[in-house]
Amino acid sequence: MKKFFELLNDELMAGRDVTMVSVTASSGSTPRGAGARMIVGEKGRICGTIGGGAVEYLCQQKAQEVLKTKKSFNESYMLRQNQVQDLGMICGGDVACFFQYISGQDEKIKEMIKFVLDGFEKDEDIWLIMDITDGAKPSMGIVRGDGKKSGDEYPKQVLKHLDGKSRKYKLDSSVYFIEKINQNSKVYIFGGGHVAQQLVPTLHRIGFNCIVLEDREDFSKKELFQGVVSTRIVDMEDLSDLCEEISENDYICIMTRGHKDDYIIQRQVLKTPARYIGVIGSRRKTAGVMEKLRNDGYNDKDLARITAPIGIPLDAETPAEIAISIAGQLINERAKDRHEDN
């Protein structure tokens, strides 16, 4: 998402008008859900995607028309089986899109985009709010986790719905689309071995911010982990300061060189509010660690927070394959916050 706004900023700073196409609702087996978006310029799509295929192609054409009319609007695509086949698509379902004209001369929007990029740099929670009411003047606003705002102002009732969901919200005769476009969350990876060295770049490419924790200097060199936020040398026996900074939005992946260290770490991180704790290792060996944790006073509810072995079920063998398995599981966990249940 950061790259998306960087490219949008490039277009606007060059004075070029664009259309932003946003999926505001979807149902059925559509390729992308609410929050998917793309930027279209005079020569076609610049960045982003709403799922590809014929619908995206049609949306690109409509978006280029918007550049001429300078009028924003909503458009829905209700794809039944015969329509899906006619359009040459694999997926069916319903998709609602909002086509928003953005002028390359709009200084207010430019300032808002800079504000967004600053929020990404600071890893702030960031919410995008759009007024998508048919016939109304389109507007956009940004609210950050630090309480700062940019762009258009919105009623307090709208601001009460700033959570992890992508949703439409109706207030009187107005319709708003609210989306969290960045979450201040981190993946704490304990152990800097071969799997971690594959996992960090894999997670980085899909928008996770990774911190590697090690007690060995040779395995904590930043150049080993492409895209890592930071690496730290820590005392695995005493993680009290680290545990203080772990929030309910954070993920923990434990993949040290031995089950002794795994046990020592789990015993401490179970005291944190981390949303996810995953541990690498076989079921037999992790069962032994679980028994030790029970002896330490942790109950079944506590231990249910631990995913062991880590990752979605794959016949993974190499570090790269294991990294994909873990990344898949973190994607599933993150997606729980993304969309409202229909």
Asked whether residue 60 is domain-assigned, the answer is yes
Residue 171 shares a structural domain with residue 232: no
Query: How confident is the model at residue 71, as a pLDDT?
Result: 93
Q: Which residues, in sequence order, are CB contacts of 327 under 8 Å at separation 6+?
A: 199, 202, 203, 206
Give mean pLDDT, residues 308-334: 94
Banded pLDDT at 133 (limits 50, 70, 90)? very high
pLDDT 10s digits, 163-203: 878 889 999 999 999 999 988 899 999 999 999 999 999 99
For 59-102, write each residue's pLDDT tens digit: 999 999 999 999 999 998 876 555 444 444 445 568 899 999 99
Q: Are residues 153 and 206 in the same domain?
A: no
Point out the domain boundary residue: 136, 163, 182: 182
- Does one domain contain both 230 and 171? no
Tell me if 341 is assigned to some domain: no
| R_g of the chain, CA atoms, integer Å | 23
Q: Are 89 and 175 contained in the same domain?
A: yes
> Are residue 77 and residue 162 in the same domain, yes or no?
yes
Q: Residue 258 above 50 pLDDT? A: yes
DSSP for 2-31 reads HHHHHHHHHHHHTT--EEEEEEEEEESS-S
What count of other Cβ atoms lies within 10 Å of the Cβ of residue 290?
19
Per mean pLDDT, which range of 28-32, 185-189, 202-206 is the poorest? 28-32
210 shares a domain with 173: no
Residue 90 confidence (pLDDT): 44
d(CA 210, CA 255): 14
Apex 311 CA angle, 310 and 317, nearest 5: 100
* Whether 198 contacts 227, CB under 8 Å: no
Residue 26 lies in a domain: yes
User: For residue 331, what is the domain's CATH number?
Assistant: 3.40.50.720
Q: What pLDDT sits at residue 342?
A: 38
The answer to whether 261 and 238 have CB atoms below 8 angstroms apart is no
Q: Is 128 part of a structural domain of the chain?
A: yes
- With a cut of 50, say whether residue 127 has pLDDT above it: yes
Band the pLDDT of 114: cuts 50, 70, 90. Answer: very high
Same domain membership, residue 144 and residue 220: no
Which one of 158, 182, 206 terminates a domain?
182
Q: Which of 148, 182, 216 is the last residue of a domain?
A: 182
Judged by average pLDDT, the poorest of 34-48, 141-155, 275-289 is 275-289
Q: Are residues 157 and 248 in the same domain?
A: no
| Dist. CA 252–CA 319, nearest whole Å | 18
Mean pLDDT for 93-120 is 93
Q: Are residues 134 and 195 in the same domain?
A: no
137-173 pLDDT tens trace: 889 999 999 889 999 999 999 999 898 788 899 999 9
Range of the domain at 215: 187-335
- Does any domain span residue 256? yes
Structure tokens at 142: 């940004």
pLDDT digits (tens, 9 = 90+) for 44-60: 999 999 988 778 889 99
Residue 78: what pLDDT?
Answer: 73
In the predicted model, what is the mean pLDDT of the chain? Answer: 90
**What integer pLDDT is reported at residue 335 of this predicted model?**
85
pLDDT at 31 > cutoff 80: no
Judgement on whether residues 94 and 209 belong to the same structural domain of the protein: no
Total domains present in the chain: 2
Indicate the angle between helix axes 107-121 and 2-13, nearest 10 degrees.
150
310 and 235, same domain (yes or no):
yes
pLDDT at 314 over 50: yes
CB 330 within 8 A of CB 209: no
Which distant-in-sequence residues (6+ apart) come within 8 Å of 43 by Cβ?
none
* Whether residue 312 is found in the same domain as residue 254: yes
Residue 340 in any domain: the answer is: no
Say how many C-beta atoms besides its own lie within 10 A of residue 135's C-beta: 9
Which of 8-17, 118-127, 195-204 comes out lowest in average pLDDT? 118-127
User: Is residue 281 within 8 Å of 309, Cβ to Cβ?
Assistant: yes
pLDDT over 50 at 324, yes or no: yes
